[in-house]
Structures are given as C-alpha cells and as structure tokens.
Structure 1
Amino acid sequence: MTARVVAVNVVHEVIRGPTRWTAIDKRPVRGAAVEVGELGLVGDRQCDTRYHGGPDKALYAYAEEDAAWWSAELDRDIPPGLFGENLTTSGLDITSAVIGERWRIGGSKNGILVEVRSPRTPCGNLSGRMGIHRFHHRFAKTGRVGAYLKVLETGSVGEGNRITVVHKPDHGPTIGQLSSGG
C-alpha cells in the first residue's frame, strides 16, 4: 500500500478549551496545496507555544488507520483533523515510526522533507474537543497518539501527496513506545 496524505488540516476556529485557548479545531483544506515553512503550515496556528509548535513540533501527523480504530472504539465518526492534526495520513504506521525517521511528502521538487521528533502529549483540550472526560489520558495510554514532525525542507503539501520513508534509523524508540511507556 502506498502511503499518502488524506487531508491537510489547518485551524478553523480558536476556541476556549477546558484549560486554555486552543487551536485544536483543525479542518481539511480542499483544493490547492498548502505552503509549509519551518514552523508549519501557512494559515495554521498554535495557541500555547510552550507545548505546541516550534521547530520540533512544526507539524502533527495522525494516521487514518488509528482514527478508524478510535472510531470503532468510540462508536462515532472521526473525521480528519478531529484530533488537531495537520496531516491525516494513510498507509503509514505512525505508531511504529522510529524517532529520527524521515519522510518525503510530495515530489522532490515542491514537496517537503520532515523528521519524526516525538509523540504527541495530549492535554485536557483534547478531552474537551471529544466531549469525553479525561479522554486525553485514555488516548495517551494506547500509544496511538501520532507524531510531531520537524520540517527539514520547506515546500508545499496537499491532499493525495505520496509519503515515502526515506530514512529509518536501525534502532531507537518508536512513537508508541515513548507514548505508552511500552
């Protein structure tokens, strides 16, 4: 199966979460590709930059397969962007991604190169978004938390772009291991 971008998501509305203002309400951009700089997608934002954003957390990727798992677990629809991710992917096992792994997204001419830096550490705003008390704790325990990415080469990214793993370290912790302690 070819890995690809299912959706590129940017903030729709800044909302007041249970703990602070949040830009977790991300929704798909339809049509043209979105420009990506060193700090993330043009047109997106983060509210609490102590925990979100910056070079090592420029983009947040979440796998459609993990969203489908949550959909079955919660018996509800999980559309792209619901967890606050910038990139919803398909055909890429993000939970098993090794820290330091690099992905080429899109072509080598206009696409981007990113590096897996860390798992997401969810906060109470995810629970508020989902409408489930303490959901962020449950989310973290599964290890299905997605990955924060550093942008190594800027460019643009769009729905349907191919994702190629161009470097995978021989050893090291995975997103799932760091998230769930497993």
Structure 2
Amino acid sequence: MMQLLSVNLGRARTVPYTDHPQGVTGIDKRPADGPVRVSAPGPKGVGASGLAGDAVCDTRHHGGDDQAVYAMAREDLDFWERELGRTLPNGSFGENLTTAGLDVSGARIGERWRIGPSVVLEVTSGRIPCRTFQGHLGEKGWVKRFTLNGAPGAYLRVLEPGEVRAGDPVEIVHRPDHDVTVAMEFRAGTTERSLLPRLLAAGPALHPESLAAARKYAEAYAG
C-alpha cells in the first residue's frame, strides 16, 4: 500500500554550515501533528515552501512552484540507516513528505500523485545535495556519497491544493509514457551529463532549469 507516513515541517534556525547570507536554514524538519495545507507558493525566488508552516530560507536555490514539495521514500531512509549505522527519523533528509510503498526516485518526470482526498502533485526533478544538507547530517563526504547512490528523492509542483496528513493514501493518477525518471534526471545533472538530451522527452513537466540544461547540451552536441 502506498501511503504518506509523515508530513514534515521545518522552522528557520541559525547554523554554521549554510551559505544563506543570514546563516539560517529550515532543513531540520519534524513530523506535524495534524493536517497541513498544501498549495503552490509562487515563482522561485519569491515563493517558498508549498506547505503551510514550513520554512524555506534560501529562496535562491530552494522553494517556488517547481520545488514546492520534497518527498523521500522511507525505504531510502532505511537504506541509509543501515549504511550510516544511525537512526534517521522521518524528515531527516529535509523532506516534506515521507512515503511508504512508493518508488520516489523511480517516479517519472510528470508523474502525478493524489494524496488524500484532494491534493494532486506532479514530479519535476530530483534533489541536488548541498553543503547545508551535509552539515545537517554531520557526515563527511556526504554530498559525494549521496550523489553516487543516485536516489535523490523527488521535488513536486502542486496541481491541486488541499490538506494532507500522516496516513493518507497515495495514488499514482498519471504516469507519462516516456522513460525519464527522477533518478535519470539526477544522474544527467550530476554524474552522467551525456544523458541530458534524453530528458527532453519529459517536455515541460521537467523542472525549467533541467529542461534548459538539456536543451543547451543537445544544441551544443547536435550532429
């Protein structure tokens, strides 16, 4: 059964490991007790998180309509628990949604999920690890290790707003007929740039920055 295990929110706090000008981050997310409102937050640089009550501090790189929600599979957290030899509660990777029974990194770009009775989200891209993520976990070499594993979790845009809560069922209501997955998009942007032209098959559902990179690469190497 595909379901939502927790909805995780972060508060802004000051830390020594972020590039934010004021040194604040909302990456430390904890499960919410009740329902949480989900809606499109607005363009990147203006809008922040798609979840009410969730802090996104560095809007230069995070938040906005195409990165409104970040989801991670509990199965991937369990993998890293075994690898790192430590407990990783839901929200440990800064994800808003921790899921069960759903292949998040194997989801196709443009895939749509209905969560609970009303919310519909659309997959746009994978999450690129950063210095803040590494500092939050306190694991040396974490950015490289996470990248090489290739299961980044998914960013999603909000197509239909509403409320979500822990225990809500997750249903895949649309799966595109191309083969561009979150994992492929992630590898194309990090370790296997030769994959970039293949991302074009996902069309406008792809995160605009990834789409622009794919077009630029394809044009540069055409012929």
Matched residue type, 1:5:
L
What per-residue deviation string (whole Å, max 9, x for no partner) do you get for residues 47-106 of structure 1? 111111000000000000000011111111111111000000000001110000000000
Residue 138 (str. 1) matches residue 141 (str. 2): no
Query: Which of 23, 27, 30 is residue 24 of structure 1 equivalent to?
Result: 27
Instruction: Tell me which amino acid in the other structure corresponds to 2:35.
Output: A
Q: The residue matched to 1:148 in structure 2 has which SS?
A: strand
Gaps of 5+ in 2: 42-49, 193-223
Q: Which aligned pairs between 1:72-87 and structure 2 lie closer than 5 A? A: 72-87=82-97
Structure 1 partner of 2:60? 50
Q: Residue type of the partner of 1:37? A: S
Give runs of aligned pairs for residues 55-74 of structure 1, distance below 5 A: 55-74=65-84
Give runs of aligned pairs for residues 74-113 of structure 1, distance below 5 A: 74-107=84-117, 111-113=118-120
Instruction: Quote how far apart the aligned CAs of 1:131 are.
Output: 0.6
5+ residue gaps, structure 1: none
In structure 2, C-alpha distance between the alignment counterparts of 1:15 and 1:149, rounded to whole Å: 27
- Between the aligned partners of 2:134 and 2:181, the Cα distance in structure 1 is 24
Of the structure 1 ranges 7-16 and 92-101, higher mean CA displacement relative to structure 2 is found in 7-16
Aligned partners of 1:95 and 1:57: how far apart in 2?
Answer: 15
Q: Which moved more, 1:63-72 or 1:11-20?
A: 11-20
Q: Which residue of 1 aligns with 2:129?
A: 122
Q: Flag the structure with more relative contact order, 1 or 2, with Cα contacts below 8 A and sequence separation at least 6.
A: 1
Instruction: Give CA-to-partner distance per residue, 1:143-170, whole Å, 9 cap, x none.
Output: 1110000000000000000000000011
Number of aligned positions between the proteins? 177
User: Normalised by the size of structure 2, how large is the TM-score?
Assistant: 0.76
Q: What is the letter of the counterpart of residue 163 of structure 1?
A: V
Shift of residue 13, structure 1, vs aligned partner: 4.3
CA 113–17 in structure 1, closer or farther in 2 if over 3 Å, else same: farther
1:14 aligned residue: 13
* Overall identity of the aligned pairs, in %: 46
Does the aligned pair in 1 maintain the 2:74–2:99 contact within 8 Å? yes
Look at both structures and tell me which one has the larger radius of gyration over its CA atoms.
2
The two structures, once aligned, show a CA RMSD in angstroms of: 1.3
From 29, 33, 45, give the equivalent of 2:35: 33
Kindly state the Cα deviation for residue 18 of structure 1 after the two structures are TM-superposed: 1.6
Aligned-partner SS, 2:152: coil
Rounded to whole Å, the distance in 2 between the matches of 1:171 and 1:57 is: 21
Is the 8 Å Cα contact of residues 141 and 179 (structure 1) preserved in structure 2? no
* TM-score, length basis structure 1: 0.93
Provide the rounded CA distance (Å) in 2 between the counterparts of 1:176 and 1:17: 30
Q: Pick the structure with more helix per residue.
A: 2
Q: Distance in 1 between matches of 2:16 and 2:145?
A: 18
